[in-house]
């Protein structure tokens, strides 16, 4: 397993905003740019698609919890502020999981929103 652990934030103020940890199969990442500190423009998703895993698809789960002491320290969170957590599973066209991503951010700073689409098979009551 290759683990990419990143602290991301505002480059101007150097304020930490989120922690993101990606888990990629070692057999997929070994000896590639995926294993390098700087993956270059487009990041790991462009690289995965260039490695014949296109098109990628994603599923996400959103949750909230209290931060660990390390997360609280790294994100400069005040006491009592929970984290929003997005766990994303990235799959290739054959359904193979190519990445699991765990992103954590301050619940008092971020909103998470997305569009909902009614499935065409749904019928009006």
Please give the average per-residue pLDDT across 32-36, as a whole number.
Answer: 90
pLDDT attached to residue 39: 86
Q: 42 vs 48, 73, 111, CA distance in Å?
A: 10, 29, 24
pLDDT band, very low/low/confident/very high, at 125 (cuts 50, 70, 90): low
Closest by CA position to 64, among listed 104, 101, 100, 102 = 104
Q: How large a percentage of the chain has pLDDT more than 70?
A: 98
CATH topology for 2-106 is Chorismate lyase (3.40.1410)
């Amino acid at each position: 397993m290759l683990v990419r652990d990143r602290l991301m934030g505002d480059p101007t103020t150097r304020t930490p905003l989120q922690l993101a940890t990606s888990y990629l199969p070692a057999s997929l990442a070994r000896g590639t740019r995926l294993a390098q500190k700087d993956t270059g423009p487009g990041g790991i998703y462009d690289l995965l698609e260039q490695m014949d895993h296109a098109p990628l698809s994603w599923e996400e789960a959103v949750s909230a919890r209290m931060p660990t002491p390390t997360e609280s320290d790294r994100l400069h969170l005040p006491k009592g502020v929970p984290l929003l957590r997005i766990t994303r599973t990235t799959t290739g066209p054959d359904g193979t999981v190519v990445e699991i991503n765990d992103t954590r951010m301050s619940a008092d700073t971020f909103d998470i929103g997305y569009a909902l689409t009614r499935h065409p098979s749904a019928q009006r009551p």
